[in-house]
Structure 1
Amino acid sequence: MEKMKENKPRYLFLMLAFLLLLLALTAWGGWKVYEEREVRYRHQVETDLKNTSDLTVRNLSGWRDRLVTGAAAMTDDTLFARAAATWLREADATAQADLEARMRVLVERGRLTKIILAGPQGQVRLVTGNMMAGELPAREMQAFQEALRSAQAVVVEPSADGHFAYPYMGVIAPLYDGMQSLGALWMVVDLRDTLFPLLETVRGGRATAESVLLMPQGDEILHINPLRHDTTAQGVGHFAALTQHEMVEVQAVRGIRGVAYGQDYQGQAVLAASSVVPDSPWLLVSKMTVAEAFAQDRRREGLYFGLLIGGSFLSILAFIIYWMWLTRRREQALKQELENYRHMLEQQVRNDSLTGLANRRALDELLEREWGRAVRDGLPIAALIMDIDFFKGYNDCYGHLVGDGCLQRVAQVLQFNIQRSKDMVFRYGGEEFVALLPNTRLPEARQLAEKLCQALQREGIENQASPLGGVVTMSVGVACMQPPHDSADSGHRLLENADTALYAAKHAGRNQVAVCADAAGEGGRASPTPR
């Protein structure tokens, strides 16, 4: 004791050093976890943005393909070309009304804004909606001539010098009556109703998320859709010069694809994903500010790191308290462990190691309790003693290892078919089993015995040593007693009667049930029931 008092400062120093080391290791581990989680979350945010951008690209490509495909279908539409040729040739009101009706149907079906019919020289001949006169605008005239030369639909890309009051895009579809050129259809789409809504997928409730559709134009970049954070750029317009290398939009035009970090047109640090829209000169840049992209992660990681530090201190404090408690309670814990071990041994003593059933010792204890209850409450109690027929021959024929397996299967059949929670089956010894049935009358006990015999026979366990069908069977003795309140008998009288009945069943030829009824605790006569 004196020596421990002398070494107490040393023990306290070692404990303090251990706690500081534990705290340092906890902090280092927490920082490593933080770094790993930050990298994983950053990758997740980048992947989500890239997937959203890819989805938008597929939608844009599909929309553009449908527009071009619809224009190409008009070039191949001989009925429309014939109606246009009739009107151009005759110029009467009936032919014009028919042609206008066809053009209105095209506008509705193709979600177009306007269709303009131009003659072979590019002069405007017929328009759905507001009338317009003269020739096609310069860009459209150039596309018109290219369409006639190639006999294919030509796209007129969006432009800052628009001919209409709204941002638009057009497709020139040449028309032919046989080999003769009739001119072309200029199919116009209002981008506000068709294209721009496709670019809002990336927002998803984020304040700074935005998709910008770009198109290079010389040394400058043209933005096709309105800029979300620039109210002055609500239509197609010039965006930036290619010399502004830090802008993610310029990086996309210069060939950088996938996820990148840079600045946007507001000068803010952004995370962006850039892609090319197939079969078009368009580039899509989906972006959001870095601050918003990782704001949730920073809040979550700050909370996590704070919880980690607080948890570390609490863990150390809990460790100290636990260590002190463990020192005081060690003796009690050892006593409890010994008590549990003793209880486990007692449980093992009451179980049969081969079949897993309760053994004879457990039977004696339960029988004593249930017999006392039957005497006290005036209730009947029944017992079944079951013996496997010709089991000695079975062991001689198949060997003792197979015999052990047979006993296990028989035990499983008995357990499965004895289903009441208050009933219990035991291994009595060798090939004998006992079922104890509290509060059970003789007819019920006999019915259960018949059920068990039939179930075992249906199991079909092969037994060439048995003359009874070549399968394992059993004989069952049934006894039932209802002891009076002043009974001097014990439960072993019930087992003796069941054993007498079992002897009668074997004597009568086996594979059957014999009953010994004794309601008053006196001796009874065994009567077999052949099967």
Structure 2
Amino acid sequence: MPVPRRLFRAPSRSLLARLAALIALLVGALLVWTLSTVYEQRKLMHRHQAERELQTIGRLQAQAVADWRTSRLADANALTDDSLFAQAVARWQSAPQTEHEATAFVQERLRILQERARYSVVSFVAPDGTVSMGNSSKTVPDAEKKALAHAIESAAPAIVEPRRAPFFAFPFFSLMAPIFDGTRPLGAVWLVMDVRTSLYPLLSPWPTASETAESVLVQAQGKDALLLTPLRRHGELETPTVVSASDTARPLVQAVAGARGLLYGRDDRNTPVIAVVNAIAESPWLLVSEIEVNEAFGEAATRELWVLSLPVSAAVLIAALLLGGWQWRARLRESALKDKLAQNMQWLESAQKAALVGYYVYERSGDTFTLSPMASELFGLTPEAPVARTQWLAQVHPADRAQVLAGLDEALRERKPLRMQYRLVDGSQERWVDMWGEHDAPSANARMTGTVQDITERQRAEEKLGQYRTALEALVRQDPMTGVANRRALTEALTVEWQRAARIQAPLSVLMIDVDHFKAFNDRYGHLAGDECLRKVAKALARTVARATDLVARYGGEEFAVLLPATGRAEAQAIAEKLRLAVRKLAIVHAASGVATVVTVSIGVATAQTKTAMRSEELGRAGAQANAERESLHLIHQADQALYAAKEGGRDAVVAQAEAPSSTALVGSGAAPDPTVSPPPPRST
């Protein structure tokens, strides 16, 4: 018997419409989820890049500030440990009217220190806190009085942190270096430095183009944060400048509370900022470097959002049109569904292009790759068609092929995830890609699926950051005015050359050079002419030395030093004479010299000749390093004594100090020369 027709009912149009709407919503949600995931990944990548850049700049600035503070303490310690200076001060205090030689020695020592290290004030302070300023005597501020008492009590230099005080018209940083005659305190040398010209330039300007980035030094004052340097938009430092501990959103307060490394907070205008906190070694200082969040990665996030929101907007519009068309015709509904599917694939491909990400499938049995359109574009191959592994490998940069092939074979053999970065050949250019891969199944003919992403821009950004870091490290070791090496570079090079000389048992010479009557030159012709004179002298010295291993450095003020590896005493004297004549040939007029009508130099020569050296394994690496630094300073001291003798003998002369004893002069690998260490090349005559 036939079944009644009423038992079977075709689905109503409203049900189909609801089903179509549900499918459209699901597809739209999937697209939005895909695009939002890509967006979050891209935004996170830009965030990490900005954080790494801020951390790198913060570390470099913190190291520069630590070196600056260490140099100031080294100057103070050198005064405290100088027994000759202490004896001269004792003679000067006991008979100031008759000990003209002691008075001159004290004044000359303080003058050289002030000009070499560019201190604003270098004065001797009596134990009661009085200091001679011109024709009158004053009492140092209370903070310096406390530092003076502490320095005498502890027999070590005391520091007064940067601040403003009525005593000077500028913000200053000062130290008290105690001077003793045996155990009797004679007073202290007050070293005052204008932080606007010495400390502030280490933190400003920001090394990269930025409108909101800045670095500031802070110190704990109870639970509050005391600013030692001004905020960039606030001008000069005022006293006191304190950030209350109640403002817990400020990175400055978080740093004082113990936070270190990367953190987020708000500045004094309640603007979100990203900050990094670095502690300054051997000090109570903290360096806080911060930048507004919007500047750090807001622009990149907005750009990514605009790019990824376009497909979403188009999807919403097209879905609405499809749903409206479904109410009119079933044929249009079917056509619209097909168009929607095509558009979804296009949007997905657009999202991959925006993120520069493609996918691939590797068939182990056929040894072939199947690439998505974006991956094909990255490799410059045909999309969708299987590509042999040899053809894929041909697109890899020749220098990376062996490494890439070994990494792929290892991942296939050991069935572990694949992750590698390598270069592709794109005509005359190179592009970097990041390749991921996972195994699908444990069978012998398993497939590997994964993604490949273009990371060329990220690599370039990292290379630029590395170049900046290298350039900044080079600037730290270069004298900014003369362009030759600075004292720090000389100290490092001298320690290295001393250890090498010990290993190969070669001589090592140092020349100390002083421009004769340079203060008189400055007084007569002005500081601008004095600076130009130093630049010309530095260029003449650099041109005259013969080998690349020789180092010309500005030791401080008008003093220069030349490091001559593998150079004996006689040869070093000959080179010193060439340098003296080279400066004379500059013919820089010096009417106030008293030595000659042109600028001249006095040169002290010191040479260390090793014949027998202690084995480095007997001392250990740390002991060998410490010994090399100690002996290097002794060699500098010998050259300085020879320079003093040249100046005492009438200047415009070369004087050589006696050679250092060979039995304990150097630390090396043993009595026999090390055949693996080559000496510097012979000097051209």
Interval of TM-score (by shorter of Structure 1 and Structure 2): 0.5 to 0.7
Contact 1:224 1:236 in 2 (8 A): no
Shift, 1:102, TM fit: 1.8
Contact 1:75 1:176 in 2 (8 A): yes
Shift, 1:95, TM fit: 4.0
Where do residues 475-514 of structure 1 align in structure 2 (5 Å cutoff)? none
- Three-state SS of the structure 2 residue aligned to 1:157 is strand
Aligned counterpart in structure 2 of residue 104 of structure 1, from 111, 131, 142: 111
Aligned counterpart in structure 2 of residue 27 of structure 1, from 26, 32, 38: 32
Aligned counterpart in structure 1 of residue 258 of structure 2, from 230, 235, 255: 255
- Three-state SS of the structure 2 residue aligned to 1:237 is coil
2:82 aligns with: 77
1:86 aligns with: 91
Q: Is 2:154 aligned against 1:150?
A: yes
Contact 2:163 2:237 in 1 (8 A): no
1:493 aligns with: none
Aligned counterpart in structure 2 of residue 296 of structure 1, from 296, 299, 306: 299
Counterparts of 1:71 and 1:206 in 2: how far apart (Å)?
37
Where do residues 80-479 of structure 1 align in structure 2 (5 Å cutoff)? 80-92=85-97, 95-125=102-132, 133-161=137-165, 163-200=167-204, 202=206, 204-218=208-222, 220-231=224-235, 234-306=237-309, 308-309=311-312, 319=342
Contact 2:122 2:190 in 1 (8 A): yes
Q: Which amino acid aligns with 2:243?
A: A
Counterparts of 1:19 and 1:218 in 2: how far apart (Å)?
62
Q: 1:132 to 1:268 in 2, by over 3 A?
A: farther
Contact 1:159 1:236 in 2 (8 A): yes
Q: Which amino acid aligns with 1:43?
A: H
Runs of 4+ in 1 over 6 A off after TM superposition: 12-21, 310-318
Shift, 1:168, TM fit: 0.6
- Three-state SS of the structure 1 residue aligned to 2:234 is coil
Aligned counterpart in structure 2 of residue 54 of structure 1, from 35, 59, 79: 59
Q: 1:109 to 1:120 in 2, by over 3 A?
A: same
Q: 1:159 to 1:22 in 2, by over 3 A?
A: same
Counterparts of 1:132 and 1:49 in 2: how far apart (Å)?
49
Counterparts of 1:211 and 1:316 in 2: how far apart (Å)?
55
How many pairs are equivalent? 312
Cα RMSD of the aligned pairs, angstroms, is 3.5
**Greater C-alpha radius of gyration:** 1
Contact 1:244 1:250 in 2 (8 A): yes
Contact 1:224 1:237 in 2 (8 A): no
Shift, 1:292, TM fit: 1.4
Contact 1:49 1:202 in 2 (8 A): no
Counterparts of 2:203 and 2:21 in 1: how far apart (Å)?
61
Shift, 1:211, TM fit: 1.1
Contact 2:217 2:227 in 1 (8 A): yes
Share of identical aligned residues, percent?
34
1:45 aligns with: 50
Q: Which amino acid aligns with 1:96?
A: T
Contact 1:156 1:170 in 2 (8 A): yes
CA deviations over 1:457-488 (Å, ceiling 9, x no partner): xxxxxxxxxxxxxxxxxxxxxxxxxxxxxxxx
Shift, 1:152, TM fit: 0.8
Contact 1:271 1:289 in 2 (8 A): yes
Counterparts of 1:291 and 1:66 in 2: how far apart (Å)?
38
- Three-state SS of the structure 2 residue aligned to 1:265 is coil
Shift, 1:111, TM fit: 2.6
Structure 1 unmatched ranges of 5 or more: 1-8, 324-531
Q: Which amino acid aligns with 1:205?
A: A
Q: Which amino acid aligns with 1:276?
A: A
Counterparts of 2:281 and 2:28 in 1: how far apart (Å)?
56
- Three-state SS of the structure 2 residue aligned to 1:200 is coil
CA deviations over 1:35-70 (Å, ceiling 9, x no partner): 122223222222321222122111111111111111
CA deviations over 1:333-381 (Å, ceiling 9, x no partner): xxxxxxxxxxxxxxxxxxxxxxxxxxxxxxxxxxxxxxxxxxxxxxxxx
Contact 1:211 1:286 in 2 (8 A): yes
Contact 1:53 1:275 in 2 (8 A): yes
1:420 aligns with: none
Counterparts of 2:108 and 2:151 in 1: how far apart (Å)?
24
Counterparts of 1:184 and 1:242 in 2: how far apart (Å)?
36
Q: 1:104 to 1:319 in 2, by over 3 A?
A: same
Contact 1:143 1:172 in 2 (8 A): yes
CA deviations over 1:216-251 (Å, ceiling 9, x no partner): 2245432111221224x5345322222222222112
Q: Which amino acid aligns with 2:108?
A: A
Contact 2:218 2:285 in 1 (8 A): yes
Structure 2 unmatched ranges of 5 or more: 1-12, 319-337, 347-685
Counterparts of 2:135 and 2:211 in 1: how far apart (Å)?
42
- Three-state SS of the structure 1 residue aligned to 2:43 is helix
- Three-state SS of the structure 2 residue aligned to 1:134 is strand
Shift, 1:121, TM fit: 3.0
Counterparts of 1:316 and 1:73 in 2: how far apart (Å)?
83
CA deviations over 1:276-321 (Å, ceiling 9, x no partner): 222212122111112212222223313431465589899968948x
Shift, 1:208, TM fit: 1.0
Counterparts of 2:174 and 2:146 in 1: how far apart (Å)?
13
Q: 1:318 to 1:310 in 2, by over 3 A?
A: farther
> More displaced, 89-98 or 274-283?
89-98
- Three-state SS of the structure 1 residue aligned to 2:58 is helix
Contact 1:203 1:209 in 2 (8 A): no
Contact 1:19 1:316 in 2 (8 A): no
